[in-house]
Amino acid sequence: MAAPLGTSAFTEETGQEKQDTQEKDKAIPPERAEEAKLKAKYPNLGQKPGGSDFLMKRLQKGQKYFDSGDYNMAKAKMKNKQLPSAGPDKNLVTGDHIPTPQDLPQRKSSLVTSKLAG
Amino acid sequence: GAGGGNDIQWCFSQVKGAVDDDVAEADIISTVEFNHSGELLATGDKGGRVVIFQQEQENKTQSHSRGEYNVYSTFQSHEPEFDYLKSLEIEEKINKIRWLPQKNAAQFLLSTNDKTIKLWKISERDKRPEGYNLKEEDGRYRDPTTVTTLRVPVFRPMDLMVEASPRRIFANAHTYHINSISINSDYETYLSADDLRINLWHLEITDRSFNIVDIKPANMEELTEVITAAEFHPNSCSTFVYSSSKGTIRLCDMRASALCDRHSKLFEEPEDPSNRSFFSEIISSISDVKFSHSGRYMMTRDYLSVKIWDLNMENRPVETYQVHEYLRSKLCSLYENDCIFDKFECCWNGSDRQVQFLIVMTGSYNNFFRMFDRNSKRDVTLEASRENNKPRTVLKPRKVCASGKRKKDEISVDSLDFNKKILHTAWHPKENIIAVATTNNLYIFQDKMN
């Protein structure tokens, strides 16, 4: 019989915090202790928790400032990783060649069938 | 059984995916969803691929287990793109899959990445026409002058072929990243939600979409919260909810106005100000919202808990379940390694039950997943691991030791593997079969029969 072990995780809607404060009425709540730890490590951390800096970062996921050199380098590395069986890329831009849009390697989607289907 | 569902004994049934520990990024599973009958189970991954499994018909002689799930179809749903105008990479990762109810022989599903939603038709072909007059069997055309007699082409059986084809592409309607899609109970429209906006679509129309929620502030500096999930009510076709990064849920009625910026209801649990910390808002961010099948309740998942809300009570949830409270004293390191931003999903048990029991399921770390029985108020922690893969062997409950003396068979918090996250789980709509996704493997568990 798979009798569930341990204490019930169910709590009344008066809040899970109550459990903590009951146990450690005089001690610092665990969240505050963790906050103190974080502030000790990163004293310059923004005063406004979860404020607009954090959200802006979330909204800009994937944003890149375009630099053709960096872009090519990154794509070449990524392309090699995703297609380990592919030979040396003939279109790899090297040396003094000025990249043009045609030279930018198109990110290839995964050509391999998902391993879930294997 | 006749009693409540509180004594379901879960057994390992199947596991799909590679065994090796070196996980390719493309193989990371990003969504799992049963169709309305439970016969089909779809997964999406970071590589933009969809794999659909089909339950084999129950074998009358094999009464000890329900049908196994085997690969039915697999296709590349989305490909990576680059938005040259914004210098933005568009990931091919499948964020969500939602099935349409079956109307004819074919199956339809919606799959979405960050920017584009696609309607896929999955159809079977088990016969093909043979005996054309003007075409050879290999496709070459015959010279009409060589034809001396006519014949009528006939259909002959062939090996079953399952084809997936994109029927609609719903693109260019989202500036920000799509986190949710939800099909309306009218089965004609659906919504898609990104960080700041929610759009309403008609399944037949791809060149037009209605914006129904817009929380983008005039000045982006004033941005304080984003939309994290959205879902249509299961029965009321004009009602939907959306959750936020601040832990609130808004219920909107599309009959009230064209732009539903003013909510009909606002669900929010009051916070104890003395408990507020740097982490409070981050861990209150809701990562998933799911209506119950009746539509009377909804469930939300935030970083540490699952909350059940009664739609008639806005000021607090009716129940709160702690998923992994022991992590509250680890928030500092979870913030540093970004785990505090992990988006866990949650799900209800299937709807088609005679007995009125309700169980919720959600994932955790160390490949643990949790179930909470609303009737008995009991909970259990189980593990998705290849070590437990003997069919019909009941899974052994797990226990995490938060502090103090660790008992035998318990795992201490510091030993938990935070790279082994179970973010996506799904429950068969009618039977006690669950699909649990670890990073790159899909586990299927069934309740022990007999």
Burial zone of A49 (CB within 10 Å; 0-12 exposed, 13-18 middle, 19+ buried): middle
Nearest neighbour of B379 by CB, restricted to A1, A4, A37:
A4
Q: How far is CA B265 from CA B88, B260, B294, in A?
A: 36, 11, 18
Q: Which runs of E-coded beta strand occur in B272-367?
A: 288-291, 297-301, 305-310, 319-322, 346-348, 359-363
A75: part of which helix (H) or strand (E)?
helix A68-82
Q: How far is A8 from chain B (nearest CA, A)?
A: 6
Which pLDDT value is given to residue B387? 87
Nearest CA-CA distance, residue B144 and chain A, Å: 42
pLDDT tens per residue across span B374-394: 888 899 999 999 987 787 789
- Which pLDDT value is given to residue B409? 85
- pLDDT one-digit tens code per residue, B113-140: 999 999 999 999 999 999 999 988 888 8
Indicate whether A24 pLDDT > 60.
Answer: no
- Residue B374 near residue B319 (C-beta atoms within 8 A): yes
Domain membership of residue A104 (yes or no) is no
Comparing alpha-carbon positions, the chain A residue that sits nearest to B23 is: A115
B125 C-beta neighbours (distance < 10 Å), count: 11
The pTM assigned to this predicted structure is 0.84
Give a yes or no: residue A112 inside a domain.
no
In chain A, what residues touch B9 (CB-CB under 8 Å)? 1-2
Q: Are B58 and B66 in contact (CB under 8 A)?
A: yes
Work out the minimum CA distance from B332 to partner chain A, whole angstroms: 5
Question: Within a domain: residue A35?
Answer: yes
According to the 3-state scheme, what is the secondary structure of B328-350?
A: HHHHHHHHHCCHHHCCCCEEECC
**Taking chain B, what is the end-to-end CA distance rounded to the nearest angstrom?**
10
Residue B391's pLDDT is 78
| Residue of chain A nearest B177, judged by CA positions | A59
How far off is chain B from A94, nearest CA to CA, in Å? Answer: 22
> Which pLDDT belongs to residue A113?
86
Return the pLDDT at A91.
43
Residue A96 belongs to a domain: no
What are the structural domains of chain B?
Answer: 10-447 (2.130.10.10)
Q: Is position A52 within any domain? A: yes
| Inter-chain residue contact A11 with B321, CB threshold 8 Å | yes
Inter-chain CB proximity A49 and B281 less than 8 Å = yes
Domain count for chain A, please give it: 1
Q: Using the 8-state DSSP alphabet, how is residue A95 labeled?
A: T
Cα gap A105→A72, rounded to integer Å:
7
Domain that holds residue A50: 30-62
A103 domain residue, yes or no: no
Joined together, the tokens standing for residue B10 give 């879960």
Q: How many Å apart are CA B14 and CA B390, to the nearest integer?
A: 9
Interface contacts A/B by beta carbons within 8 Å: 191
Give residue A93's pLDDT band: very low, low, confident or very high (50, 70, 90): very low
Q: Which residues of B touch A33 (CB under 8 A)?
A: 329
Across the beta sheet with B227-232, the strand order is: B227-232, B239-244, B249-253, B265-267
Residue in B220, B325, B332 closest to A38 by CB: B332
Return averaged pLDDT per consecutive 10 residues of chain B, 450 residues in all.
58 92 90 97 97 86 76 96 82 97 96 98 94 87 90 94 97 96 98 97 98 94 93 97 97 93 94 88 96 94 98 97 96 94 95 67 98 92 89 90 83 95 96 96 88
Mean pLDDT of A96-111: 51
ipTM (interface pTM) = 0.75
Within-domain flag for A109 = no
Contact B82, B90 (CB under 8 A): yes
Q: How far apart are CA B339 and CA B252, in angstroms?
A: 31
User: With contacts defined as CB-CB under 8 Å, which chain A residues touch B378?
Assistant: 4, 8, 10
